[in-house]
């Protein structure tokens, strides 16, 4: 296979090809699921859910991203921005990439609480009921999946929910989609349109409508992190940390007998002040991330000019 054979294709053509590849992988995925079901394969409820998520990450996120990168660039890894941080102190960038998603968790709870107050007009009540059902089903599945108390289940959740999901979704959305939209929109240093379009799609594709706003903002944060640092590894670390910290917190909470539901309530009600503090700390850390890359670029220009 010759890498970059279709590198000069129009962005809309690239988007269409990518969507076609996703549909093809979806069909193959459903056929495999049907064959396994007909064969009577029974691995247990949680194990089957984990393997389904692994197959989903590979079929919808990781493999299609790698395939289109090979079609559109002679250097697929570079096209996907899978390279070291271009600007800023690498170790400091990754420290911030870990701290930011942890710091913003209470503020995220605040946003989820506000988002959940959304009420649609009366004539859209059937849609609202469907959205509520989708949200409840997703919450139940998440609680069952990460609510395990065995060490083996905990490690499996870290791999599936944190590592694979973070890697796969960032390859798909920031690696591919944001890239394509950036080619179509302005080629400015900070492609706001590409970042926000990608964030909207990223949030909508989860079909968890009462968490749409916080996930939208999180997706935008990942997009700006890629733009500022030039490395997809930074949003990957952020995404994995965001998912992994929840898995770790729930596992430790179960072991210590904590009320897990109370963790999701931090930043709401009487603890709203924690959400406000979380927002302030998060904004400071984001400023430090942006500032570190900006100062590095200025230093580079000074060195070049001297």
Mean predicted confidence (pLDDT) in 287-294:
88
pLDDT of 231 reads 93
pLDDT of 167 reads 96
pLDDT of 85 reads 81
Compute, in degrees rounded to 10, the torsion defined by CA atoms 235, 238, 243, 244. 130
pLDDT of 301 reads 40
Tally of domains in the chain: 1
Residue 209 lies in a domain: yes
Residue 268 lies in a domain: yes
Residue 50 lies in a domain: no
Residue 73 lies in a domain: no
Residue 18 lies in a domain: no
pLDDT 10s digits, 3-43: 777 778 888 899 999 999 999 988 888 888 777 767 766 66
Mean predicted confidence (pLDDT) in 259-268:
80
Mean predicted confidence (pLDDT) in 42-61:
83
Q: In the structure encoding, which two tokens stand for residue 55, read together?
A: 């197959």
| Per-residue pLDDT band at 299 (split at 50, 70, 90) | very low
78 or 2: which leads in pLDDT: 78
Residue 222 lies in a domain: yes
Residue 41 lies in a domain: no
Residue 302 lies in a domain: no
Which of 231, 230, 220 is closest to 189 using CA atoms?
230
Mean predicted confidence (pLDDT) in 250-274:
84
State yes or no: pLDDT of 245 exceeds 90.
Answer: yes
Residues of the chain above pLDDT 90, percent: 44
- CA-CA distance, 198 to 194, in Å (whole number)? 6
- CA-CA distance, 259 to 252, in Å (whole number)? 11
pLDDT of 113 reads 86
Mean predicted confidence (pLDDT) in 105-111:
92
State yes or no: pLDDT of 186 exceeds 90.
Answer: no
Coil, strand, or helix at residue 87? coil
What single-letter DSSP state applies at residue 204?
H
Q: Which domain holds residue 154?
A: 79-297
Largest CA distance in the chain: 71
Mean predicted confidence (pLDDT) in 240-246:
95
What single-letter DSSP state applies at residue 301?
H
- What is the chain's mean pLDDT, rounded? 85
- CA-CA distance, 236 to 202, in Å (whole number)? 14
Q: How many residues in the chain?
A: 306
- CA-CA distance, 22 to 27, in Å (whole number)? 9
pLDDT 10s digits, 75-104: 999 999 998 886 667 889 999 999 999 999
Mean predicted confidence (pLDDT) in 247-259:
85
- CA-CA distance, 110 to 265, in Å (whole number)? 8
193 Cβ neighbours under 8 A, 6+ residues apart: 181, 185, 186
Q: In the structure encoding, which two tokens stand for residue 82, read together?
A: 């899978």
Q: In the structure encoding, which two tokens stand for residue 77, read together?
A: 């890894």
158 or 87: which leads in pLDDT: 158
pLDDT of 185 reads 60
Mean predicted confidence (pLDDT) in 47-67:
89
pLDDT 10s digits, 194-211: 999 999 999 988 877 878
Q: In the structure encoding, which two tokens stand for residue 121, read together?
A: 């007009």
218 or 43: which leads in pLDDT: 218
Q: What Cα–Cα distance (Å) separates residue 202 from each residue in 87, 169, 194, 241, 296?
A: 26, 8, 12, 17, 30
State yes or no: pLDDT of 120 exceeds 80.
Answer: no
| Per-residue pLDDT band at 305 (split at 50, 70, 90) | very low
């Amino acid at each position: 296979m010759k890498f970059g054979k279709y590198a000069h294709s129009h962005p809309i053509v690239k988007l269409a090809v990518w969507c076609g590849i996703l549909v093809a992988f979806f069909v193959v995925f459903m056929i495999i699921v049907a064959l396994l079901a007909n064969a009577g394969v029974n691995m247990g409820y949680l194990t089957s859910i984990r393997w389904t998520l692994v197959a989903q990450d590979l079929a919808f996120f990781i493999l299609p991203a790698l395939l289109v990168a090979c079609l559109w660039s002679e250097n697929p890894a570079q096209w996907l921005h899978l390279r070291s941080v271009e600007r800023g102190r690498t170790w400091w960038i990754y420290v911030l990439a870990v701290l930011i998603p942890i710091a913003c968790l209470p503020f995220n709870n605040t946003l989820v609480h506000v988002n959940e107050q959304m009420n649609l007009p009366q004539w859209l009540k059937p849609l609202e009921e469907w959205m509520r059902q989708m949200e409840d089903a997703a919450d139940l599945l998440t609680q069952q999946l990460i609510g395990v108390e065995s060490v083996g289940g905990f490690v499996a959740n870290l791999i599936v929910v944190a590592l694979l999901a973070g890697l796969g979704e960032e390859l798909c959305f920031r690696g591919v989609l944001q890239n394509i939209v950036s080619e179509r929109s302005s080629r400015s240093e900070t492609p706001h349109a590409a970042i926000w379009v990608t964030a909207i799609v990223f949030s909508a594709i989860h079909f968890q409508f009462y968490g749409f706003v916080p996930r939208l903002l999180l997706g935008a944060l990942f997009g700006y992190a890629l733009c500022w640092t030039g490395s997809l590894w930074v949003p990957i670390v952020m995404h994995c940390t965001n998912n992994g910290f929840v898995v770790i917190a729930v596992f430790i909470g179960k072991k210590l007998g904590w009320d897990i539901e109370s963790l999701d309530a931090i930043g709401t009600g009487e603890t709203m002040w924690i959400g406000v503090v979380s927002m302030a700390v998060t904004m400071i850390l984001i400023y430090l991330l942006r500032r570190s890359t900006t100062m590095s670029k200025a230093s580079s220009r000074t060195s070049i000019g001297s």
